[in-house]
Chain A
Amino acid sequence: MASEEMEQLVRREYTQGFVTDIESDTAPPGLNEDTIAFISKKKEEPQWMLDWRLEAFEQWKKMSEPDWSHLDYPPIDYQAISYFSAPKKPEDRPQSLDEVDPKLLETYEKLGIPLHERAALAGVAVDAVFDSVSVTTTFKDKLAEAGVIFCSISEAIREHPELVKQYLGTVVSRGDNFFAALNSAVFTDGSFVYVPEGVECPMELSTYFRINAANTGQFERTLIICDKQAQVSYLEGCTAPQRDENQLHAAVVELVALDDAYIKYSTVQNWYPGDEDGKGGIYNFVTKRGDCRGDRSKISWTQVETGSAITWKYPSCLLRGDDSVGEFYSVAVTNGRQQADTGTKMIHIGKNTKSTIVSKGIAAGKSDQAYRGLVKILPRAENARNFTQCDSLLIGDQCGAHTFPYQEISNSKSMVEHEATTSKIGEDQLFYCQSRGINEEDAVNMIVNGFCKDVFQELPMEFAVEAEALLSVTLEGSVG
């Protein structure tokens, strides 16, 4: 392929960048006790929640930003960020899709997510978060029938305080890390799911997050609890409008699986990665952790990460219950000036625990990405098994791909295997496809998709389609 053509395609602007003009009720920038009280009040939270936030804030003040990752970004001024923004008139919040601001619906249209259609066709309940506030929730009745609670975390704090109190912060403690502490102090919205004992959630649960208002951080908090023998599949997808200033995102996701429970958590992340100089992209610092608290429980993370300027994310599993299973399937694609430091931690505590890690990294342009993983086998974790496959594909000679797998093993009856490869797309593979009449662009897509197949097949169907599309958009023209 001609290099000019390639350059042109690499420089292709973000197709999903636009700004929706909705006035926001935004807290003034800055972080102190008053900001937190403001958020808590806006959310109509009880006193115990405010106290919990303030304690987190106290911890955060004593912590410093981690510097061990393979990431390079200018210092973040946490006092310059606005920690709350909501649509102007909360009391007028739309109760159904018909009442939703047409502009918002238009936004979804541009993103290729016809909300009501999608919801109706796919049978997916959508809890759309727009500027930190839940605007619409569907299929609540059907879920209620099954006894499944699916609502915003704010609503859960008000309506189900006993569940929130019991589980919030028990997987990711407030002081777990700098970003988790920040989130605990200022989280504004997110989802809450509770699936009662023996219930298989009748539909896949989905939340689309958007970041919109300028200079606004988003701090979602998600808590999913699967009681004994319960099952749920949760989908999270993101895409964001173009912005000039970097936007901070520091979410916390906590999953709890009790005996024989199964939680599948899938993410497609396509936030604005910044312009060709890396300006204006989202900073994504996420703490995601699942706790296989019960015996024979299973937590499976699947992620497709194509967006953000900076990604710092390690969805992890604590395999506490005997015979519990943890899985991590990941595709990370970086282009332009994107930087990603992502991976997982599998902590084997119980006996006969098993974990599988499949990570596929594709770096193009001037991007840099790292897989960082930890497999830890504690002395009690007899017959623990881990298998890790970690492959990187480099496209172009200005990018970097790195692998940092930590393994800490202290049980002699366990088995830990790690394999990793780094290579480029084979010229012979490309040639072969081209000799069959396929153009280079399509050939690259085919090969890259093949490279990622092990992960894509873990995604729910409609996500898999979206993921493949995202991949080709991100990589367009990056081969020369």
Chain B
Amino acid sequence: MTGVQGFLDQLGARKQLDAEPSWIAARRQAGAARFEAVGFPNRKNEEWKYTDVSAIAKQQFALTDNADFDRAQLDAMMLEIDAYRMVFVDGVFSAELSSLDGLEGDVSVEPLSQALASNHEAVGGALGRLNNVDFSAFSALNAAFTAEGAIVRIGRRVALDKPVYLLFVSRKQDAPIMTHPRVIIEAGSQSEATIIEHYIGEEGAANLTNVVSELFVEKAAHLVHYKLQEASTQEFHIASVHIEQARDSHYRSFNLNLGGSIARNDLVAELNDENAVCDYYGLFFGRGRQHMDNHTKVHHNAPRTYSNENYKGILDDRARGVFNGLVHIKRDAQQVRGYQNNANLLLSDRAEIDTKPELLIYADDVLCSHGTTTGQLDERAVFAMRARGLDEAMARGLLTLAFAGEVLDSVNEPNIALRVERAVAGKLPDRFNLQDLVEAQDA
């Protein structure tokens, strides 16, 4: 059975947790009830105007409980990065593939299941603390299936020496699998940390990942959050990221999307106190029939809060991109600054971009602006490069890479920047032949 009921039927089939705390069970039921009530969103819903999820609703997804994965294969897939690493295979935590050595002090990095088993009350405070987190259909579905995920707690004044790397691997299975991970990050006051969420699929994997992330950035904390999405082109990736920011906090998001058949990201930041700063950087590159949808929202709930956003999209073949960015300034949230930019490049006439940068402003002493451009490459630059002997295709390829580079330049993890740059080069049409060129840079 497929559709709403088909998904709910899987709930009964899932393995029961031992002695599930009652509040978790209640949450799960509430999530299921909510999902049953709202059903899958359709395109009459303004939030889903350009994204049709009927392909997900029609599919039947199973659950899995094993995390078997070849170590060598994992090494080939994962980021070369010195980090505290947790690995999830089809949503199931693998202690064997993870590496948390050297983690000390007031920091905890745990799989959610373990945290719930050892001290569920401590988790209860954070899980679903944000309003409306489980309101949307997919988030409600996630709540109904809550079982695993990551919970990262960074204590007061801790400056983490290495990034926390959360790797979610999706396997090619006989039958498609669904996973509903929940990621909780608590960055204590004055702490500094980098979190990397990395989603990667084996070629041919056709699974559904439906993740909800909740991030709490306490007073004067600095949190850098990478989300690198490299699902297979047959996978569905749905992500809701909720950020709550306290006074003087700084949150910076890099939302980098290369994979997925349908990839949808919802980022919602609540700037709750003065001098909170939120930076959103995004890059999406679709080709073939990929569909990539990014919805971002920044709620300026307090005066003197600041946001910046820069999203870039590249679309080739019959790919479709969606950008919907909202800057919302609440009544009395004076002296807010909000900037938003979205630029897109269409490489094919069959590709499409639907973009809507929104401003919703209820305070007068503010300065907000947004801009979008969709167009082509600078022909003068193409000519200048041809005059150096580059063929036109390569000139265009390099300029396309440069277009993406504007976002990657802000990435402070060189291995992530390089990986994405290579992936972008690799995704460009073969005629651009850029792969070798990018790699040559290392020399």
Assess whether A359 is interfacial by the CB under 8 Å rule.
Answer: no
Is A415 a contact of B359 with CB atoms below 8 Å? no
Residue total for B at the interface (Cβ-Cβ under 8 A):
36
Is B369 a contact of A409 with CB atoms below 8 Å? no
Is B365 a contact of A404 with CB atoms below 8 Å? no
| CB-defined contacts of A412 to chain B, threshold 8 Å | 346-349, 351, 376
Is A404 a contact of B358 with CB atoms below 8 Å? yes
Provided the pairs A397-B363, A399-B364 are in contact, do residues A418 and B351 lie with their beta carbons within 8 angstroms? no
Is A397 a contact of B364 with CB atoms below 8 Å? yes
Q: In the bound complex, how far is the Cα of B181 from the Cα of A429, in angstroms?
A: 53
Q: Measured between C-beta atoms, what is the minimum distance from B375 to chain A in Å?
A: 4
Q: In the bound complex, how far is the Cα of B49 from the Cα of A404, in angstroms?
A: 14
| CB-defined contacts of B364 to chain A, threshold 8 Å | 394-397, 399, 424
Assess whether A417 is interfacial by the CB under 8 Å rule.
Answer: yes
Contacting B at CB under 8 A, from A391-421, are 392, 394-421
Is A418 a contact of B349 with CB atoms below 8 Å? no
| CB-defined contacts of A395 to chain B, threshold 8 Å | 364
Q: Which residue of A lies closest to B338 (CB)?
A: A422
Is A411 a contact of B361 with CB atoms below 8 Å? no
Assess whether A68 is interfacial by the CB under 8 Å rule.
Answer: yes
| CB-defined contacts of B371 to chain A, threshold 8 Å | 417-420
Assess whether A423 is interfacial by the CB under 8 Å rule.
Answer: yes
| CB-defined contacts of B209 to chain A, threshold 8 Å | none
Is B350 a contact of A413 with CB atoms below 8 Å? no
Assess whether A379 is interfacial by the CB under 8 Å rule.
Answer: yes
Q: In the bound complex, how far is the Cα of B46 from the Cα of A221, in angstroms?
A: 31
| CB-defined contacts of A405 to chain B, threshold 8 Å | 356-358, 372
**Quick one: which of B332, B351, B356 contacts A404, CB cutoff 8 A?**
B356
Is A422 a contact of B349 with CB atoms below 8 Å? no
Contacting A at CB under 8 A, from B325-360, are 331-332, 334, 344, 346-360
| CB-defined contacts of A413 to chain B, threshold 8 Å | 349, 376
Is A407 a contact of B352 with CB atoms below 8 Å? no
Q: In the bound complex, how far is the Cα of B365 from the Cα of A365, in angstroms?
A: 14
| CB-defined contacts of A396 to chain B, threshold 8 Å | 364
| CB-defined contacts of A394 to chain B, threshold 8 Å | 361, 363-364, 366
Is B365 a contact of A422 with CB atoms below 8 Å? no
Is B349 a contact of A417 with CB atoms below 8 Å? no
**Quick one: which of B334, B366, B370, B373 contacts A423, CB cutoff 8 A?**
B366
Q: In the bound complex, how far is the Cα of B351 from the Cα of A410, in angstroms?
A: 6
| CB-defined contacts of A416 to chain B, threshold 8 Å | 372-375
Could you list 9 examples of A-B contacts with CB < 8 Å? A394-B363, A395-B364, A401-B361, A405-B372, A408-B354, A409-B346, A414-B374, A417-B375, A418-B372
**Quick one: which of A399, A407, A420, A424 contacts B359, CB cutoff 8 A?**
A420
Binding site for A on B (CB under 8 A): 46, 331-332, 334, 344, 346-376
| CB-defined contacts of B369 to chain A, threshold 8 Å | 419-422
Q: In the bound complex, how far is the Cα of B372 from the Cα of A397, in angstroms?
A: 28
| CB-defined contacts of B344 to chain A, threshold 8 Å | 409
| CB-defined contacts of A406 to chain B, threshold 8 Å | 354-356
Is A422 a contact of B355 with CB atoms below 8 Å? no
Provided the pairs A379-B349, A415-B376 are in contact, do residues A407 and B355 lie with their beta carbons within 8 angstroms? yes
Is A423 a contact of B367 with CB atoms below 8 Å? yes
Q: In the bound complex, how far is the Cα of B354 from the Cα of A418, in angstroms?
A: 13
| CB-defined contacts of A392 to chain B, threshold 8 Å | 359, 361
New contact pairs (6) apart from A403-B370, A410-B346, A417-B374, CB-CB < 8 Å: A397-B364, A407-B355, A412-B351, A415-B375, A419-B370, A424-B365
Q: Which residue of B lies closest to A396 (CB)?
A: B364
Q: Measured between C-beta atoms, what is the minimum distance from B194 to chain A in Å?
A: 33
Q: Measured between C-beta atoms, what is the minimum distance from A412 to chain B in Å?
A: 4
Interchain residue pairs A-B with the least CB separation, the first 10: A394-B364, A415-B375, A412-B346, A410-B352, A403-B359, A421-B369, A422-B368, A400-B362, A418-B372, A416-B374
**Quick one: which of B332, B350, B355, B375 contacts A397, CB cutoff 8 A?**
B332
**Quick one: which of A399, A417, A420, A422 contacts B373, CB cutoff 8 A?**
A417
Q: Measured between C-beta atoms, what is the minimum distance from A384 to chain B in Å?
A: 10
Is A407 a contact of B374 with CB atoms below 8 Å? yes
| CB-defined contacts of A407 to chain B, threshold 8 Å | 353-356, 372, 374
| CB-defined contacts of B347 to chain A, threshold 8 Å | 412
Is A420 a contact of B357 with CB atoms below 8 Å? yes
Q: In the bound complex, how far is the Cα of B306 from the Cα of A49, in angstroms?
A: 58
Instruction: Convert A331-356 into 0s and 1s, putting 1 for each residue whose CB lies closer than 8 angstroms to a CB of B.
Output: 00000000000000000000000000
| CB-defined contacts of B356 to chain A, threshold 8 Å | 404-407
Is B346 a contact of A421 with CB atoms below 8 Å? no
| CB-defined contacts of A420 to chain B, threshold 8 Å | 357, 359, 369-371
| CB-defined contacts of B353 to chain A, threshold 8 Å | 407-410
Provided the pairs A400-B361, A405-B357 are in contact, do residues A410 and B374 lie with their beta carbons within 8 angstroms? no
Q: Which residue of B lies closest to A401 (CB)?
A: B361
Q: In the bound complex, how far is the Cα of B376 from the Cα of A398, in angstroms?
A: 42
Which of A399, A412, A413 is the most central at the interface, judged by chain B CB atoms within 10 Å of its CB? A412
Is B366 a contact of A424 with CB atoms below 8 Å? yes
Q: In the bound complex, how far is the Cα of B44 from the Cα of A68, in angstroms?
A: 10
Instruction: Convert A421-457 into 0s and 1s, putting 1 for each residue whose CB lies closer than 8 angstroms to a CB of B.
Output: 1111000000000000000000000000000000000
Is A402 a contact of B358 with CB atoms below 8 Å? yes
| CB-defined contacts of B357 to chain A, threshold 8 Å | 403, 405, 418, 420
Is B358 a contact of A408 with CB atoms below 8 Å? no
Q: In the bound complex, how far is the Cα of B357 from the Cα of A396, in angstroms?
A: 24
Q: In the bound complex, how far is the Cα of B46 from the Cα of A392, in angstroms?
A: 24
| CB-defined contacts of A422 to chain B, threshold 8 Å | 359, 361, 366-369
